[in-house]
Structure 1
Amino acid sequence: MAGGGNAIRGSRVGAGPMGEAERGEAAARQAITYFCSHGHRSVVTFSIEATAPEQWDCPKCGLPASMDSANPPPAPRIEPYKTHLAYVKERRSDAEAADILDEALSLLRSRRKSGDIIF
């Protein structure tokens, strides 16, 4: 047997259907251009029947993009990460925190005096 026995005869790599007759007709399309605040230009193709969205995420940088090249949407403001302690400090004043701490410590001390095992 010649070759490796693995060859597919009568075809080539990447061969696919040969024309629209086998695939059907292509749908009518519209190309919409979007612009982001970094100056990237993205062309997105939609069906003629589809309503193009006002904004589209830029595939290059991820910022929102619009069809208005003169006024692209601004980058969204990203809030910095807050720790649990930061949220607690928003809800309680320093005086309230001191009162809660004093109350917890007095409860802990009274339980220790009574012989409770506290870890």
Structure 2
Amino acid sequence: MAGGASAIRGTRVGSGPMGEQDHGHQADRTAVSYWDAEGNEVVKYYAADISEDEIPEVVDHPKSGLPAGRDKNDPPAPEKLQAYKSHLEYVKERRSDDEADELLEDALKKVREKRGE
């Protein structure tokens, strides 16, 4: 190849003539705005022929992570987070106090036997 640059450099295969504005048909859609408790708005798009009851009332805001509702003046409250549970708290949920005492006594008995007491 002598001389100039390739005429197709930097273009996609099948892209059509340079400067083409029409990139296909876009389906009709409906824009729905949602607001979170901090006042942030997010717009979600749904098919124009979808029924109103199929559009969700609450979505998660992609940036704040808070729930966002369709009423700007009354956004949904953030969910209360569960407190962290320790291993002991999970064990207490599974075992009664009597079972815990029995297991502790068995474990102490094994330790005492190892020590020769």
Bin for the TM-score computed over the shorter chain = 0.5 to 0.7
Tell me the alpha carbon deviations over residues 93-113 of structure 1, each in whole angstroms, 9 at most, x when there is no partner: 4x7644432232224434775
Q: Distance in 2 between matches of 1:11 and 1:106?
A: 80
1:101 counterpart residue number: 104
| Residue of structure 2 in register with 1:63 after alignment | 66
What is the aligned partner in structure 2 of residue 34 from structure 1?
34
- In structure 1, C-alpha distance between the alignment counterparts of 2:67 and 2:3, rounded to whole Å: 58
Unpaired stretches in structure 2, ≥5 consecutive residues: none
Q: Deviations over 1:8-49 (max 9, x none)?
A: x157658x55244x62x3211111110111110112221112
1:2 matched residue in structure 2: 3
Deviation at 1:89, TM superposition (A): 3.5
* Counterpart secondary structure, 2:91: helix
Task: Give the direction of change, closer, same or farther, for the CA distance of 1:59–1:106 in structure 2 (3 Å limit).
Answer: closer
3-state SS of 1:79 partner: coil
Distance in 1 of aligned mates of 2:8 and 2:88? 70
Where do 1:8-19 residues align within 5 Å? 9=7, 16=15, 18-19=20-21
Aligned counterparts of 1:12 and 1:108: Cα–Cα separation in 2? 75
Percent of aligned pairs with the same residue? Answer: 33
Aligned partner letter, 2:106: E
Distance in 2 between the 1:84 and 1:2 partners? 73
Aligned length: 107
Larger Rg: 1
Please provide the CA RMSD for this pair.
3.1
